[in-house]
Amino acid sequence: MYRIGIGEDIHKLKKNYQLFLGGVLIPSEYGLVGHSDADVVLHALIDALLGALSLGDIGQHFPNTDAKYKNISSLLLLEKVYQLVINKGYLLVNADITIILEKPLLSPYIPLMKEKVAKTLNTSISNISIKATTNEKLDSLGRLEACKATAVILLKQK
């Protein structure tokens, strides 16, 4: 049996904040604002995994009102969610993630993002696709007001 999940996340960009994407700290004058590390890549992936198995969303599992999640690495959250997936009797087949961000250029960081995600999900890097695009300077994403990620995943019953 297979299950498909989709997740999206968007966070506000602000000067002098850290930019974590796919578990990687990326040098940038802008970073993401959020309760945790605001990693939209991992948050979208978490929501896709949870959605595939009808387990709710990231906010239900890790509320932004809970101090224990303040500034937490989203890699740790992803690890906890994937354990739920395993406990339900499923494994990841593949993940496809798209990041929308005007700058900085993300291509130099994508291999490390893929490596971190694959390691956390105990899968081959070949099962993880991460790509980046811009919004051609259109709307809030194009004006460097926000960063967004979308993730689609496929799970297979063990």
Domain residue ranges of the chain, discontinuous segments joined by +: 2-157
At 17, list the tokens: 């904040």
The pTM is what?
0.97
Nearest partner of 42 among 3, 6, 74, judged by Cα:
74
Q: What is the pLDDT of residue 132?
A: 98
Superfamily of domain 2-157: 2-C-methyl-D-erythritol 2,4-cyclodiphosphate synthase (3.30.1330.50)
Q: What is the pLDDT of residue 26?
A: 98
- Cα–Cα dist 147/116, whole Å: 20
Q: What is the pLDDT of residue 1?
A: 95
Which residues in the chain come in under a pLDDT of 70? none
Nearest partner of 130 among 81, 93, 103, 95, judged by Cα:
95
Q: What is the pLDDT of residue 81?
A: 98
CA–CA distance from 101 to each of 28, 51, 83, 125, 131 (Å)?
12, 24, 30, 23, 11
